[in-house]
Chain A
Amino acid sequence: MQPKLSVQNLYKIFGDNADAALEMVRRGESKSAILSRTGATVGVQDAGFDIHEGEIFVVMGLSGSGKSTLVRMLNGLITPTSGQVMIDGEDIARADTATLRRIRREKIAMVFQHFALFPHWTIAENVAYGLKVRGMTAGARRARALEVLAQVGLEPWADSLPADLSGGMQQRVGLARGLAADPDILLMDEPFGALDPLIRRDMQTELLALQKTLKKTIVFITHDLNEALLLGNRIAIMKDGRIVQTGSAQTIVTAPADDYVAAFVADIDRGRVFTAGDVASEPTTIQLRSTSVREALRMMEQSGDRALYVLDGERVAGVVTYRDLAASELDGATPDTTIGKSMITDFPTANDDTQLHELYGPAGGGPPIAVTDGADRLLAVVEPHDVLTHLAGDAGEAAADDIAQETADAQPR
């Protein structure tokens, strides 16, 4: 599949003497050395990535790492010093004013950290701004604005002024303004950075919910790693204008590319990064009706499992532990005693994408957790031990390697 947005060897040098500075950057000299020798500031150096349609691509890094500069080169607000930015086969870096204007009107919208709503216009007029610029008639504009406002739940405020709304509401207006012209790509520069934590949480959830139906290609800037891990299908981490690692949340956490990234993720809440699917293993199962207690015990002795899941046809019926089965046999079971008697039926369950932090309780003790699908079919099991090792950070090397392998295959570096 052709990427929606493809960035290659992108550089931005601020200040005069860009050529000399560019030479120095390419030779690998540091940002501060270049600043003291040429007086030029390196904004972004050698950025490259592909973003696919419908993906949320998060760029994260500390203040001054070049995130804003990078995202502004994607819609030409900042002209790159060198490199290319391809959107649907057109190079933004070399586009003339008219082409840029057309692309901004039709394909790519932006949401700003401080909302940037026009204070002298009503909410509906603000939302319709992109449409007005395109020359749509007033009536059609308003109709579309109300439609988008309804999507973000702000229809009743259509005729208020921005100053009358709270920060969270203003940013939803900013988002609505971005969506109004139905662009393919949405650039969001720290959109939730100016909101307080609770509102930020809400907005993140709302964005994910909207994205489920909208399926826009989103470039999302943040300096909050938790936000990045929550929202990003893929995450690029920037330092001093350079992208030091690109990968999924799991890759970044389990296989940080260098000490910088490692320091970043050191105190991350892993419980929110990993899901049951990440730590689950292939289940060993037995059939409720056709397996005898003896057979089950023998299976466990061979495999070393503490417990086995019991299926009734396709569905999961329960779980039996070695201890219970052994006890029931000591109680004088006959060869044809069924396992149903010592089966636990209120076993813990989870979905493939249940986050690990929700499994803290079930993992505290007891049987492995059943990962089931909508129809109660058993997909995998999660061993309590695996949950805890993953949370502790020294995840089984194998698991980490697995994930790294998987994502490395998905995208060339």
Chain B
Amino acid sequence: MLSMDRHAYSNGLTDANPLKKGAFAGTLLGIALVFDISTLHLLIALGTSIIVIIMGKVDFRVYLKLFMIPGSFLILSILTLLVSISTDQKNFLISGEIFGFYFGVVKTSLSLSWLIFTRCLATLSIAYFTALTIPVNQMVVIMKKLRLPSVLIELIVLMYRFINIFIKSFYESYNALILKNGFADLRKSRKSISLLAAMMFNKILGGYKDWRVVLETKNFNGDFHV
């Protein structure tokens, strides 16, 4: 999450026009969702990946690693789609029998799974293109252009800031617990995790109070002016 953010602010395409980047991603997303053509999906995935890696100068291994996380979920769910159960062997391309039930792959589910798989790849690579090349401040420009309600934009901007503060203080507490051998064994780990949760809760509550004071000194009147 943090490393993606870092890339967004310092990649080869950071300074490109945000509206063009947004329109590019939006158009590709539309194409990927409308057309049921796997080759097209693969082309989109390949194209955006090449743009991110070559023009965006994002390290190939970093990019691959980012893909692995949702990728593994994707493969698992495709597998469950792929396999069907029946008492009859005839429709299966390949199958096995357990207790009189046939487990296997049907032709229609094969093509459907393949379509879903390639579509996921395409949309995923578009999502990464967006996350890795459009920093949040440019995202705000795009959201404004799309005439999204300003309350929504404010919410996103603030959430983004607080997620970053949250992650920072989470890691501070987490590292402190590691240094105190809080994760030495399973029992200690369980205790440390609950401790960590309590700490974060207190920090958020305390933070909330401090933020309210600061907002008051800055004459906050309900509008974040984004």
Question: Do the two chains belong together in a single complex?
Answer: no
